[in-house]
Structure 1
Amino acid sequence: MSATDWIHSFDRFDGRKGIKPGLERMEAMLLLLGQPHRDLRFVHVAGTNGKGSTCAFLASVLEQAGYRVGLYTSPYLSAFGDRMRIGGCNITDDALDALVDRVKPVVEEVAATVHGRPTEFEVITLLSILFYAQERVDFVVWETGLGGRLDATNVVTPLLSLITNVGRDHEAILGQGIERIAVEKAGIIKPGVPVLTTAKGVALDVIERTAREQGAPCYAADRDFSAKRTAYGLDGQSFDWRGIGDHHVALRIRLLGPHQIDNAALALAACVQLRRMGVAITGEAMQAGLKSAAWPGRLEIVSQSPLTLLDGAHNPEGAAALAAALKELLPNRRLIFVIGILADKAIPDVLAPLTELAAHVIVTRPDMDRAAQTSDVADAVRTLAPTTPVETMDRVSSALYRATVLAMEQRGAVICTGSLYMISEARAVLVP
């Protein structure tokens, strides 16, 4: 059995009660391994949308500043090793094999206790901690998997906690409503550890309350730091950033969409806070890091003829952000959507902002059990947009080919969106 086969042999869901909450298994395994996480410096990032982009911006700046940076994200898009990176390079198969050999007896020992068998995500998180400790990285940019309070990543005490926006996703697991979800996200806040956030409204109230309870300084967007966009286009966008003490800097990023300004602003605020804590990060490193940061599958242009964009807008907030960006960037283009969504998502709420813009919709599904049936998604599209042509195709590759033909005929653009799992399949087809 290969290393990845062994990893995937663990349950992602237990089949009846959902994921297994709690940190006991992670803590027990780390104790047996000598608690390697205590030798690492983490920046912990939670939130509903924008976590991965924020992590990418932050890691890029730290690398430009000369540091060896581990980047832990999920899910992967092209290869399993995407989720464990150092300096932009994936973990190698040989390194993963060696780590799996090391953790197998520990996992088996804990599985035989009252704690029970770890989940797949817990095993991957454990492996990543060992990997970064073994490689002696300077910093780990550390993305939560789901939620925060009981997420496997929450066994660390970071230098900073970052929380992006808070939206209504994974309510079956995290609880109903923004306030309940915000409580779970705010669970990454540690005593005395500064927290920075772009959350708004009731979510911000929860985060600030939690920070006060933990004696943690809290810095919020539009109060303690802010960003104003000055230019945008298909080649990127520019913005002015202001922070504590009226510190001001003009910046440019390659990532598209107004929401990426928020993510970049949060990453920059984190860099300024790290610098106040004694981490050497120059203004030049901040500018170069943000400008060079890339994050596949997020309003990513993968073809110019026809113009084809990939975006993993898998929840209502993500879909709304995608729609807002498309209205700005492609106001007069006929948009051919290729959409594939997981069955456990709020499908009508994801579709609503997209169907307003669609000239044609092709519904497909990623190759996984959790994918929604194409007929169900197509019915939802027809309810929302009765006059919009809708087709269904079970294979992502076939749907992309059909969309490409339509876009060429109509001088339009292809927008492939929905589950990140589908985006992964689409990239395998479209990106050499």
Structure 2
Amino acid sequence: MMNYRQALDFIHAQHAHGTKPGLHRIKALMQQLGNPQERLKFIHIAGTNGKGSTATMIASVLQQAGYRTGCYTSPYVFDFRERFTVNGRMIPQKRLASLTQQVQSAAGRLIENGLEPPTEFELVTAVGLLYFLECGCEIVVLEVGLGGRFDATNIIQKPLAAVICSISMDHTEYLGDTLEKIAFEKCGIIKPGCPVVLYCKNTKEVQTVVSSRCREMNAELHTGDPEALEQLFDPAGGTLFAYRGVPFRLSLLGKYQCFNAVTAIETLTLLRAKKQITFTDDQLKTGLQNAYIHARLDQIHAQPPIIIDGGHNVEGINSLCEALDSNSTLSEPVIIFGMMRDKPYQYAIQKLALRAKAFICIGLPVSRAMPAHELRDIASLYCANSYACDSEAEAALLARDLCGGGAIVAAGSFYLAGGMTRALKKIF
């Protein structure tokens, strides 16, 4: 019988198969497993930024309304099991091990028959779908891993709704080198006759691609109204805003989360109008306020303010800079930074280092991570107090010594978020 550690080892070993487009592997795998996805209802979410936050908000409201709600997101920050939750609770270790063994056996039968082995994400998706069915989930909020058209999650049939979040430039080696090409891939989750909700701040290019796809698929398109959103001052912390005259409060920080919340509100109210779900206005407000997800402008300490943010593309870095500029308690922070070589690290360093009192660079435990000293060499062009550290613990101690009671911000990658959170919490 496989144990939890063996399950993780097996899953992560499949990373060697890489990222491969196509649905043929996941279709064959799910057929071996009895196609559990055909007995579940989904809200399917794609996009470049905001997928995890929007999925978490929608799932929180559904849970508040009494639905047994599955939520599938990526990446994780502290615990691999964050990726599969039912009513906010992670999958138990024993269940993950048991279901992974079941998926391993199914994948082995495919290989014995001469078929291509499933990728890591395809195996993880299969585990999640089995678990959500086993738990009797009434609705599953399903976040796309990469793109949409050829993503393993697109094995599902027509969802209750397809949600397209903010689209910007990222993963261009897989999705294309223009916004239009990337939007086309994201629109692959739109099924015939499926209602679609589009993030209200997407560019005209993206809106055109999504509108065209909806017409082709006879899918009604709904977009929130950015002019109907008013951000309000909240002395108690969090994020307070009004949408269509109705006040809402989020525990999540950042103006951008207001726009993600609009996407969630539009999705939920659309499904209520179609009598697919029911909830009260109070349940909507409480669910949105209760929603929480790690490493999205995540304040883990009050004095000094410590922020953890996993944003790793241009839009994510711009959102972080907007937050730093609009909050006086975060001005001139000590920044701890690490990023992947295939991400816009030069852009991120320039934007962040110009705002920093000190800039501390660390390498990350991933082969494609930028070395700390190379990041520091770039950062020193914009911030005189730039450093390279060999470990998260060293970076945390240096940040404590340099901050002088001011803010500390750890940013640049989700791979950085978990380790830096632990290191900083040990000394603050």
When structure 1 is superposed on structure 2, of 422-431 and 334-343 the one drifting more is: 422-431
Asked if the contact 2:223–2:266 (Cα under 8 Å) also holds between the matched residues in 1, the reply is: no
Asked if the contact 2:325–2:331 (Cα under 8 Å) also holds between the matched residues in 1, the reply is: no
Describe the superposition over 1:106-160 as per-residue Cα deviations: whole angstroms up to 9, x where unpaired: 1112234454011111000000000001111111111111111111111113111
Q: Does 1:271 align with 2:268?
A: yes
Structure 1 residues 196-345: aligned runs within 5 Å: 196-198=197-199, 199-222=202-225, 226-232=228-234, 235-242=237-244, 248-278=245-275, 279-330=277-328, 333-345=331-343
Question: In percent, how many aligned pairs have the same letter?
Answer: 34
Q: Structure 1 residues 394 and 233, CA, compared in 2 at 3 Å: closer, same or farther? A: farther
When structure 1 is superposed on structure 2, of 334-343 and 109-118 the one drifting more is: 109-118
Cα distance, 1:393 vs structure 2: 0.6
2:252 aligned partner, one-letter code: L
Taking the aligned partners of 1:200 and 1:229, their CA distance within structure 2 comes to 21
Structure 1 residues 395-406: aligned runs within 5 Å: 395-406=391-402
Q: 2:418 aligns with which of 409, 424, 427?
A: 424
Describe the superposition over 1:22-81 as per-residue Cα deviations: whole angstroms up to 9, x where unpaired: 011111111122211011111111111111111111111001101111111111111111
- RMSD value, Cα: 1.7
Asked if the contact 2:295–2:414 (Cα under 8 Å) also holds between the matched residues in 1, the reply is: yes
Secondary structure (helix, strand or coil) at the match of 1:10 reads helix
2:284 aligned partner, one-letter code: M
Taking the aligned partners of 2:330 and 2:97, their CA distance within structure 1 comes to 51
The two structures have a TM-score, normalised by structure 2, of 0.94
Cα distance, 1:301 vs structure 2: 1.1
Cα distance, 1:274 vs structure 2: 1.3
Asked if the contact 1:264–1:290 (Cα under 8 Å) also holds between the matched residues in 2, the reply is: yes
Taking the aligned partners of 1:368 and 1:139, their CA distance within structure 2 comes to 35
Describe the superposition over 1:387-418 as per-residue Cα deviations: whole angstroms up to 9, x where unpaired: 431100121221122112211x3x31100001
Q: Indicate the residue corresponding to 1:126 in structure 2.
A: 126
Taking the aligned partners of 1:308 and 1:392, their CA distance within structure 2 comes to 20
**Count of aligned residue pairs for this structure pair:** 418
Q: Indicate the residue corresponding to 1:245 in structure 2.
A: none
When structure 1 is superposed on structure 2, of 94-103 and 233-242 the one drifting more is: 233-242
Q: Does 1:7 align with 2:7?
A: no
Taking the aligned partners of 1:145 and 1:232, their CA distance within structure 2 comes to 34
Structure 1 residues 13-412: aligned runs within 5 Å: 13-14=17-18, 19-113=19-113, 115-157=115-157, 158-198=159-199, 199-222=202-225, 226-232=228-234, 235-242=237-244, 248-278=245-275, 279-330=277-328, 333-383=331-381, 385=382, 387-407=383-403, 409=404, 411-412=405-406
Asked if the contact 2:324–2:330 (Cα under 8 Å) also holds between the matched residues in 1, the reply is: no
Taking the aligned partners of 1:261 and 1:332, their CA distance within structure 2 comes to 20
1:206 aligned partner, one-letter code: V
Q: Structure 1 residues 252 and 402, CA, compared in 2 at 3 Å: closer, same or farther? A: same
1:81 aligned partner, one-letter code: R
Secondary structure (helix, strand or coil) at the match of 1:11 reads helix
Taking the aligned partners of 1:375 and 1:420, their CA distance within structure 2 comes to 20
Describe the superposition over 1:318-351 as per-residue Cα deviations: whole angstroms up to 9, x where unpaired: 0000000111123673310000001111211222
Taking the aligned partners of 1:349 and 1:13, their CA distance within structure 2 comes to 31
Secondary structure (helix, strand or coil) at the match of 2:15 reads coil
Where structure 2 has 5 or more consecutive residues not aligned to the other structure, the ranges are: none
Asked if the contact 1:233–1:329 (Cα under 8 Å) also holds between the matched residues in 2, the reply is: no
2:343 aligned partner, one-letter code: K
Secondary structure (helix, strand or coil) at the match of 2:116 reads coil
Describe the superposition over 1:298-329 as per-residue Cα deviations: whole angstroms up to 9, x where unpaired: 11111123211101111111000000011112
When structure 1 is superposed on structure 2, of 366-375 and 109-118 the one drifting more is: 109-118
The two structures have a TM-score, normalised by structure 1, of 0.93
Describe the superposition over 1:151-175 as per-residue Cα deviations: whole angstroms up to 9, x where unpaired: 1111113111111111111111111
When structure 1 is superposed on structure 2, of 95-104 and 45-54 the one drifting more is: 95-104
